Amino acid sequence: MFVHAGVRPDVPIDAQDPRDLLWIRDEFLGSTRHHGKFIVHGHTPVPHPDFHDNRINIDTGAWRSGTLTCIAIEGTQILVL
């Protein structure tokens, strides 16, 4: 699932608040829970793609760093391009 910021842990995907999809941060980033779907997100700049069991953060702060991250997803494999 592709979202801007993340999802609220313990809330089913179909019941997520659109504001959380755009703005959530700490509760989501600190969660190791599987959210029903693997989450691809940004909103929190990191120096390189940040892989976790339940999510990947691909926001490498292109506006500031000049590094734009692109990934390809094929089945369960994620390739950083």
Q: What digits encode the pLDDT tens for the residues 29-80?
A: 999 999 999 999 999 999 999 999 999 999 999 999 999 999 999 999 999 9
Q: What is the pTM of this model?
A: 0.94
Q: What is the dihedral of CA 59, 62, 65, 70, to 10 degrees?
A: 60
Q: Where are the alpha helices (DSSP H) in the chain?
A: 18-23, 26-29, 62-65
| Residue 66 structure tokens | 């000049």
**Segment 47-50 long-range contacts (CB within 8 Å, at least 24 positions apart):** 49/80
What are the tens digits of pLDDT across the range 1-43? 999 999 999 999 999 999 999 999 999 999 999 999 999 999 9
Q: Which two tokens stand for residue 78?
A: 């994620």
